[in-house]
Structure 1
Amino acid sequence: MRILIIGGTGIISHYVTEKYRNMGHSVTVINRGNRKYLNIGNVEYIAGDSNNKNSLMDVVGNRTFDKIIDFTTFDKETMQMKIEVLSSKCNHYIFISSVAVYERNTDAECYTENMPIGNSKWLYGFRKSECEKVLRNTSGKNFHYTIIRPGLTCGEMFIPYSPIDTYGMPGYLTYCILAGKEILTTNIGEDEMQVMHAADMAENIYNLLCTNECVNECFNLSGNEYITANQILQKLVDSLGKNAIACYVPRNELVQNTMIKPLIEGGWHERYSNRKAKEILGSKYLTSRSVLDNLNESIEFNLNHREYVGWPKASEECIQYIIENAKLNGQADLKHIASHNKPKGNN
């Protein structure tokens, strides 16, 4: 099959690209070309801005595809534009959405696909839900969709750590440990996060898209592993052979900050059902890779890809402000996390 992947070098999309390539498909990737060091062999990469209509039209040209998998649409206007440009280029459009689309319900024990969407707590989730609505309303006889709602997904480029969005700040946790900086942590670090490794996520996306049951449907893809910030931090300090300082701040204090509030209230600590996908895939629904057991790959990636590691200065300043303000208010609890291992060579 001819597969177009819009994105291709992100947390999940990199693994999806590799999976389709490994299964012998003809894979084309469109992205801005900012992470060429993540390109893999026997894949066609085209540099272009997929969120710009003229650029997208230019790079796609007269090509047609069996499937288009879109990782990079975050608002309804862009979704409308992409459908206008690409609906004649394929008959199956796969939109990578997020479990963040669900409207937050304090009574919900576990979110399922038939629950209301339109997250009023997190703009990211709300905008993704608007994209879904546009796609659903556009599907027709010759244009079908599948909506994938990944849960919290981890891999070499992303370490989950509440309340810090380490996707926006890659390498930040590693940097803090090595530099001896205090690490902002929610509550006492024991809030659970439901996670899946990105390689398993890619396998599940691929296997699901090989079925007829996926057409014009949406699916949560979520893990069976539940981990805490404390577990992640302990694993990191052990791997790096360096002690760390956790700064525990209560949830009610953190939600006062506009940068942190969406991550706390928007869905990081909720549970999401994966039953619908499991009923279709059975034993092919994979959750075999432990995120905790594979944190070393994230550390190695951060240390070996300095060009990727970085974060906005404003984000670091915001985190430092929260820590210092919590100290002044008597809301900060500092705890030293001891490594069980000796420091590694050059660390």
Structure 2
Amino acid sequence: MKILLIGGTGTISTAISEKLIEEKHELYLLNRCQKNISLPQGFRSICADINNEVDVAEKLSEMEFDCVADFIAFVPSQLERDYRLFNGKTKQFIFISSASAYQKPSSNYVINEGTPLANPYWEYSRSKIACEDYLMKMYREYGFPVTIVRPSHTYCKASIPLGVHGKNGSYQVIKRMLEGKPVILHGDGTSLWTMTHSLDFAKAFSGLIGNLHAIGEAVQITSDETLSWNQIYKSIANALGVDFKPFYVASDFLAKAGAFDFEGSLIGDKANSVVFDNSKLKKLVPGFQAAIRFDTGIKECVDYIMSHRDCQREDPEFDGWCDKVINALEAALNFVKESGEQNDGC
């Protein structure tokens, strides 16, 4: 099949690009051509900024596709642009939405595609919902062949998935673990979460491409493995060969603590227990089963990051913030204890 990916070199899309190259599809990547060199041979580059609609329209003027997938659209105006560019030029258009769009707080911890979409805590999620609404309107009214894909927390060999981290990603948390320092976990670490390796995601995604039964549908792609955040962080510590030293902080406190935007990513997402029902995906892609267990996948991630200096982006601002939060809460606890002892003495 002739497939165009807008993006194609991110955490999720790199594995998909590699999978489609392996399957011998005629693959085109439309991006600014800054990271394509890391992919194996077997694709064609269209060097352009998708936001420059006139330039993209000119470069694609003589081309049609079996499938177009946009990995970097976040607001409805970008989908309106895609509709202008690809209506009548593709047999399928896949939009990458987000499982964070599901109802928060959840009325049921088991999530499927019928779960309502509503997230008052995170603008990112609300924008994804608006994107879905627009595309489904184009499908219903004009037959635009859309498939909506909802990933949850997907990781690759170069990314450690965490609940609480700074602006530079996950490495500073790894560094704290290696230095024997406590790491902040939201809540008490017992809420449930799902991690999906990008290679598993790519297998499912490939099965949706060209799938007539996926047109007009929304489909979530996740692993079936459910973990607590304690288990997630313990697996990371085990992969590093260090002790797990959690410091538990209420999600609401973290969301109000200021320095980093945790209201959306925690209150609107990771602080909620979720278990995904992937029955619809497995019906659309018979035989699909996520095969990479988290403790195995995270060991690969840790080995890769520790052997690639460019993945080790330190974040002193986040590190100092963690120490400040931990010291403040420990001081508060000591104050309460001492006050209680004094009252007992009276």
The bucket for the TM-score relative to the shorter chain is 0.7 to 0.9
Question: For the Cα contact (< 8 Å) 1:12–1:153, is it kept in 2?
Answer: yes
Distance 1:68 1:169 in 2: 29
2:277 equivalent in structure 1? 273
RMSD over aligned Cα atoms: 2.7
SS at the partner of 2:157? Answer: coil
Q: How does 1:319-338 map to 2 (within 5 A)?
A: 319-330=322-333
Q: What is the deviation of 1:59?
A: 4.8
Distance 1:7 1:23 in 2: 19
Q: How does 1:102-121 map to 2 (within 5 A)?
A: 102-121=102-121
Q: Which 4+ runs in 1 deviate beyond 4 A?
A: 311-321
More helix by share: 2
Of 152-161 and 315-324, the range deviating more from structure 2:
315-324
Larger Rg: 2
SS at the partner of 1:266? Answer: helix
One-letter amino acid matched to 1:272: F
Q: How does 1:43-58 map to 2 (within 5 A)?
A: 43-57=43-57
Question: For the Cα contact (< 8 Å) 1:157–1:170, is it kept in 2?
Answer: no
Evaluate the alpha carbon distance shift between residue 44 and residue 111 of structure 1 in structure 2; reply closer, same or farther with a 3 A threshold. same
SS at the partner of 2:134? Answer: helix
Evaluate the alpha carbon distance shift between residue 118 and residue 51 of structure 1 in structure 2; reply closer, same or farther with a 3 A threshold. farther
Q: How does 1:199-218 map to 2 (within 5 A)?
A: 199-218=199-218
SS at the partner of 1:49? Answer: coil
TM-score by length of 1: 0.84
Deviation digits for residues 110-144 of structure 1 (CA, Å, limit 9, x no counterpart): 22222332321211111111111111122366630
1:143 equivalent in structure 2? 144
* Same amino acid, percent of matched pairs: 22
1:297 to 297, 300, 305: 300
Evaluate the alpha carbon distance shift between residue 126 and residue 141 of structure 1 in structure 2; reply closer, same or farther with a 3 A threshold. closer
SS at the partner of 2:246? Answer: strand
Distance 2:56 2:324 in 1: 41
1:262 equivalent in structure 2? 264
Question: For the Cα contact (< 8 Å) 1:99–1:151, is it kept in 2?
Answer: yes
Q: What is the deviation of 1:210?
A: 4.1
SS at the partner of 2:309? Answer: coil
One-letter amino acid matched to 2:303: E
Question: For the Cα contact (< 8 Å) 1:15–1:202, is it kept in 2?
Answer: yes
Question: For the Cα contact (< 8 Å) 1:27–1:44, is it kept in 2?
Answer: yes
Deviation digits for residues 169-217 of structure 1 (CA, Å, limit 9, x no counterpart): 0433333323444321123323221222211111111113343210111
Q: What is the deviation of 1:245?
A: 3.7
Q: What is the deviation of 1:243?
A: 4.0
Distance 1:207 1:3 in 2: 13
Q: What is the deviation of 1:319?
A: 4.4
SS at the partner of 1:218? Answer: strand
One-letter amino acid matched to 2:145: H
Evaluate the alpha carbon distance shift between residue 80 and residue 330 of structure 1 in structure 2; reply closer, same or farther with a 3 A threshold. farther
Evaluate the alpha carbon distance shift between residue 72 and residue 321 of structure 1 in structure 2; reply closer, same or farther with a 3 A threshold. farther
Of 209-218 and 173-182, the range deviating more from structure 2:
173-182
Q: What is the deviation of 1:146?
A: 0.3
Question: For the Cα contact (< 8 Å) 1:121–1:262, is it kept in 2?
Answer: yes
Q: How many residues align?
A: 329
Deviation digits for residues 10-29 of structure 1 (CA, Å, limit 9, x no counterpart): 22111111111111101111
Distance 1:46 1:276 in 2: 34
Q: What is the deviation of 1:105?
A: 3.9
Evaluate the alpha carbon distance shift between residue 33 and residue 311 of structure 1 in structure 2; reply closer, same or farther with a 3 A threshold. farther
Q: What is the deviation of 1:299?
A: 1.3
2:338 equivalent in structure 1? none
One-letter amino acid matched to 2:185: T
Residues 1:310 and 2:313 are matched in the alignment: yes
Residues 1:71 and 2:71 are matched in the alignment: yes
Question: For the Cα contact (< 8 Å) 1:153–1:196, is it kept in 2?
Answer: yes
1:224 equivalent in structure 2? 224
Distance 1:241 1:30 in 2: 41
One-letter amino acid matched to 1:299: V
Show structure 1 runs of 5+ residues with no match: 332-347
SS at the partner of 1:68? Answer: strand
Show structure 2 runs of 5+ residues with no match: 335-346
One-letter amino acid matched to 1:205: F
1:285 to 280, 283, 288: 288
Q: What is the deviation of 1:165?
A: 7.1
Question: For the Cα contact (< 8 Å) 2:251–2:267, is it kept in 1?
Answer: no
Q: What is the deviation of 1:249?
A: 1.3
SS at the partner of 1:255? Answer: helix
Q: What is the deviation of 1:8?
A: 1.2
Evaluate the alpha carbon distance shift between residue 270 and residue 198 of structure 1 in structure 2; reply closer, same or farther with a 3 A threshold. same
Of 285-294 and 174-183, the range deviating more from structure 2:
174-183
Q: What is the deviation of 1:251?
A: 3.1
Evaluate the alpha carbon distance shift between residue 323 and residue 208 of structure 1 in structure 2; reply closer, same or farther with a 3 A threshold. same
Of 131-140 and 231-240, the range deviating more from structure 2:
231-240
2:339 equivalent in structure 1? none
One-letter amino acid matched to 2:43: V
Evaluate the alpha carbon distance shift between residue 89 and residue 112 of structure 1 in structure 2; reply closer, same or farther with a 3 A threshold. same
